[in-house]
Structure 1
């Protein structure tokens, strides 16, 4: 029977029982003499940690191009891989999530995350971090889903505004006891959540530094008798060389997860991450850190051994959840089927057709331009803008279902217009050029000429509207976008200077209706709306 406890008692008893069992077997076998009066040193204890991140509601099997038609991912397959990982290890195993689990598909979103919670419970997750997308439907819905979960979803750096006290519904850490081994798991939310979630959905809370919270609760966990301290965080990294073989180390890794590991002053045994959707298998600050690709197609396995004050990694790998390697978990498959039956009639309805595949490749691509056009025309605005973070999947050629478009644009925002001056639009577009001079938004109804090497805030040289008219700073202009972007999401704070007006249209439905007015199959629009100057 699995037990969870937050008390500190029992560590010595757990280790003592294990040592007694080992010695009893050895004596019966005639291999060792009876123990001397002096106490023996602590026997080594082992723990396997299985981890996923950024599940984004992918309950159904996935078909990424790199799989070449072979089945991969989905909840029933992933659950079978978890069971296999538990059985192969033969010792205490915990399963963790790095967050962003609910949001992203028709089957999950149309159930407000209930379907995802049902399968995570069935897959026997032990703990999860709060991802930024867990807040997308507001805290009331999030709290309801957390009550449904049979495991803690945690945020040690989530506080009541202006304090270092946690809301009563947020746990910072949990002690998981398995076969006499005590594993403390600390959960960490994304500190920049306020930049990627609408302000009204996180009122009354703030997000603090990761390292400060980890150090605080690592001390508390060790004092409570933890054999292992593991951090699951919705914070990630990117690597120049990701590594291809399961056990191959990633190289050239950078990002917040690496910085946090290097900043810690208290020892932790493992950090598992998320958010950046990258394969990461490396070490930082002497701590093993891992992350996986999103959407249920990968999971990590890390085996730890601790003796005294020393922890070593016995084995770790990033594994692909191939369907052919396991027998599908039929119980989880039934749960998925029950939820899928509810949404399937709508999700599988073909609504449009694409003449060519539209991948998200390069800073500017046809898919982003098509969405920006749809924003513009559906809202009746002069120009349109789509943040790249809202474009969630590539699109194939051929018939396109409503469910596929839901995965492309899953966030249930409202389409709005924002009345701006030319200067205010220019300031917003400056935000869309990152520190490396790369654009991170798609536009419609205008062409923007910019100098990627110029100082931030002064890169845009000219904005030309359709018809080749140069937009002056004093000219009025109306922008079509989402309420998320219009209220400062993805750091588009400059749009707060304008006058926002709601259209009453849910943005995905508005996009579908607009795309259905185009000749079918829809041809990819041309690129060249952002023009970098030499």
Structure 2
């Protein structure tokens, strides 16, 4: 057996073993995330932006406004893809032992995760890991974009605290992500001044000139020849719709592949003129592999194109990507390696290379648990946290005249005044904040985490306690059928049963209460009548959408296109809402939108905690006046279901006969006299904002599944075979 084979077999077996081990570890930490897992099992896919969110909240139920990192789809045709549950840092360290080894550490889509938390490494431990690698040898540290915006603690300084931390840790370069624009064009220009390392984007132009530096040369050891790295930045053209339009006035994003190849040609021509040769290229991209992204803009397509670029033949090319929040490693052709770490500092990317090979991996949060936090960065984070806590004491409104109830057992089972208020804030923002006015808005009960007390001041901290996940508002186009499917899923939970008696637990209207689900949706701009006595796929009785022109409710048109505002988690298909995943516009952080709305709204309209006015739980067979029309039909038509008439309502008779088109307005005396089924129209208060914040992925083998166990057994066999071969080889020397 040759020496090369003796080396290769243990390395391959280590890869297989680490795949099985990491698979077990991922699911051990994510057992609470049932909704996404079930969706992935049935479809083998989930949306890319769902990838990340609940790892940061692994102690929290999956129905929160976060979701779970899962493995990504393999690369495009022509790529040899490595499983995304990559080798651990330890396995890479043992595989690459050459003295000319260079280590590249990288992050992407950190979104302001300054602090350590469950599943989040945090900047203090990131600094320690970086310093440990630097102590071993030549190390480069890079970021692939979307670092500054995301969590309220980072948003509070418009990303400047994050920039200061990145400077202190010692990043070498960073790509411009779409969310770098979220605090406005002036702020992103300020980042260029604040950062001690280059902010790169080759395809971002203002008035025909590049807004950012296109590339940089990193040469850590000037005494060595051949260790220089050409680093080129590129930004997703989706930025045009994935930050607030006001933030990118006059900014253009050109084709990524065309622009990167042009920069490569320029660099190679200049190098030839100067008698230099560059052997290593890093494309620092914020493109992603989300299937909703046009194929020509995806990082995988760029990687494939680079593998076919003749000017890069024989060179090592590394694509470090972000944007789709995907954990993925792949190889393209003979010389291109692709790596993306997921998001939210759940992982640190690690690429080790020497003259013989390039190996890509991730360092997961589980491996960082035992790492000591860097004291300098830890002290800096503590100082930022103290200032942030003080800012949270800022009063938004002097007194709340009502309690906005956010109890878990309430917001996850039925309509609540808090859910209505948050949904109304989304709808109000959507009237002017996007290219098209919003038709309806929804938010998930799992994203509502606290109650706003009555007769007390409401602070910024109170609002963040309600909406703690750093989500942003987003708007997507949906069909009427998508809306129906969305509400059917929202209302699909089983009903509650008394554990002692076995009897159904009923609400105040005598209807069975649903079991708590974080995916239960609160709504503005729509009305849904449903009967929990029926099977889950038959519960929806009727859906009406508020029509701004006629100022009335109109029945949902299944074939029509509507504009739906929601949070970015649901817009990306989170909580299993796969019918919503698609192209979207994005706006400010949800807490900012809600705070601005509360400061202007008449909160007395939310006096009833469970109004049952938008999500109307009602028996489909209830006919209070015995006129042959169910109560929900009369409420929907604006007639009185309890008028005691012995004959059918004429308006409903005409409607049934098709003689008239009934108005769906809140006009009947009944609607004005009851708090059980009021036909209230949606709230619409114009709110202006001065600044904005703004995939399907292959399922990992389940823990102890056949796939993971076969990988483990095969790895053990290969190790044994490799050791036997190595022993024979040593005897032959």
Report the TM-score when normalising by structure 2: 0.47
CA distance in 1, matches of 2:545, 2:201: 45
SS, match of residue 233 in structure 1: strand
Map of 1:20 onto structure 2: none
Given candidates 126, 151, 169, the residue that maps to 1:123 is: 169
Normalized per residue, the structure richer in helix is 2
Question: Quick one: distance in 2 between partners of 1:285 and 1:357?
Answer: 53
Question: Which segments of 5 or more consecutive residues in structure 2 lack a partner in the other structure?
Answer: 1-97, 397-403, 453-460, 490-518, 530-541, 547-551, 568-581, 586-590, 618-733
Residue 374 of structure 2 is matched in structure 1 by: 329
- Decide which of 46, 59, 79 is 2:101's aligned counterpart: 46
Match of 2:217 in 1: 175
Q: Which among 433, 441, 464 is matched to residue 403 of structure 1?
A: 464
Equivalent-residue separation in structure 2 for 1:100 and 1:218 (angstroms): 24
The residue number in structure 2 matching 1:316 is: 361
CA apart distance, 1:73: 1.9
Q: 1:134 aligns with which of 180, 189, 192?
A: 180
Alignment correspondent of 1:354: 406
The equivalent of 1:80 in structure 2 is: 128
The question of whether the paired residues in 2 share the 8 Å contact of 1:80 and 1:328 is answered with yes
Match of 1:444 in 2: 524
> 1:409, CA displacement in angstroms?
5.2
User: Partner of 1:340 in structure 2?
Assistant: 385
Structure 1 residues 379, 103: CA separation in 2 closer, same or farther (over 3 Å shift)?
closer
* Alignment check: 8 A CA contact 1:358 1:394 kept: no
Tell me the SS of whatever aligns to 2:101: strand
Q: Hey, what's the Cα distance between the residues in 2 that align with 1:432 and 1:197? A: 27
What is the distance in 1 between the residues matched to 2:235 and 2:563? 36
Q: How far does residue 192 in structure 1 lie from its aligned partner after superposition?
A: 1.2
Partner residue in 1 for 2:352: 303
Match 2:320 to one of 262, 265, 272: 272
Aligned match of 2:594: 508
> CA 1:328 to 1:152, structure 2 compared with 1: closer, same or farther past 3 Å?
same
Judge conservation of contact 1:80–1:327 (CA < 8 Å) in 2. yes
Shift of 1:368: 8.5
Separation in structure 2 between the aligned mates of residue 188 and residue 77 of structure 1, nearest angstrom: 28
Within 5 Å, which residues of 2 pair with 1:186-205? 186-205=232-251
What's the offset of the Cα at 1:95?
0.7
Equivalent residue number for residue 426 of structure 2: 375
Which residue of structure 1 lines up, in the alignment, with residue 144 of structure 2? 98
Residue 131 (structure 1) shift: 0.5
**Secondary structure of the equivalent of 1:229?**
strand
Q: Shift of the alpha carbon at 1:370? A: 7.0
Q: Distance in 1 between matches of 2:350 and 2:611?
A: 43
- What is the aligned partner in structure 1 of residue 116 from structure 2? 61
**Partner-residue secondary structure (3-state), 1:61:** coil
Distance (Å, rounded) in 1 between the aligned partners of 2:429 and 2:214: 44
Do the aligned partners of residues 111 and 522 (structure 1) sit closer, same or farther apart at CA in structure 2, a change above 3 Å counting? farther
User: Is it true that 1:155 corresponds to 2:201 in the alignment?
Assistant: yes
Counterpart of 2:545 (choices 465, 489, 495) is 465
Are the counterparts in 1 of residues 425 and 594 from structure 2 also a CA contact under 8 Å? no
Q: Answer yes or no: is 1:257 the counterpart of 2:299.
A: yes
Deviations 1:408-429 (A, max 9, x none): 456599xxxxxxxxxxx9x954
Alignment root-mean-square deviation, CA:
5.0
* Match among 283, 286, 289 for residue 234 of structure 1: 286
CA positional deviation for 1:226? 2.7
TM-aligned CA deviation for residue 157 of structure 1: 1.3
Q: Which of 219, 239, 255 pairs up with 1:209?
A: 255
Rg: which structure is higher? 2
Higher RCO structure, 1 or 2 (CA under 8 Å, sep 6+): 2
Q: CA deviation at 1:320?
A: 2.3
Deviation at 1:59, TM superposition (A): 1.0
**Structure 1 stretch displaced more, 218-227 or 54-63:** 218-227
The 2-side partners of 1:353 and 1:278 are apart by 35
Contact 2:182/2:243 (CA < 8 Å) preserved in 1?
yes
Q: Report the CA distance between 1:225 and its aligned residue.
A: 3.4
Aligned 8 A contact 1:126 1:152 in 2: yes
Aligned residues: 405
Deviation track 1:328-361 (CA, whole Å, cap 9, x = no partner) reads 111111211222222213437999763228999x
Shift of 1:470: 2.6
Match of 1:166 in 2: 210
CA gap 1:201/1:445 in 2 versus in 1, 3 angstroms: closer
Relative to structure 1, the CA distance from residue 298 to residue 472 in structure 2 (aligned partners, 3 Å threshold; closer, same or farther) is closer
Q: Give the Cα–Cα distance (whole angstroms) in 2 for the partners of residues 82 and 189 of structure 1.
A: 25
Shift of the alpha carbon at 1:232? 1.2
TM-score by length of 1: 0.62
The Cα of 1:280 is off from its aligned counterpart by 1.2
- Residue in structure 2 matched with residue 38 of structure 1 by the alignment: none
Change (3 A) 1:61 1:369: farther
Please state which structure has a larger fraction of its residues in strand: 1
TM-superposed CA distance for 1:175, in Å, is 0.4
- Secondary structure in 2 aligned to 1:206? strand
Summarize the Cα distance change of 1:358–1:125 in structure 2 as closer, same or farther, 3 Å threshold: farther
8 A Cα contact 1:373 1:384, kept in partner? no
CA contact 2:255–2:297 (8 Å) conserved in 1: no
Paired residues of 1:359 and 1:394 also in contact (CA < 8 A): no
- Give the CA deviation at 1:129: 0.5
- Indicate conservation of the 8 Å contact 1:348/1:403, yes or no: no
Within 5 A, what are the aligned runs for 1:473-492?
none
Please say if residues 77 and 322 of structure 1, whose CA atoms lie closer than 8 Å, have aligned partners that are also in contact.
Answer: no
* Native 8 Å contact 1:378 1:510 kept in 2: no
> Which residue of the partner structure matches residue 27 of structure 2?
none
Conserved? CA contact 2:256–2:297, under 8 Å? no
Q: Which residue of 1 aligns with 2:88?
A: none
Paired with 1:205 and 1:99, the residues of 2 have a C-alpha distance of 18
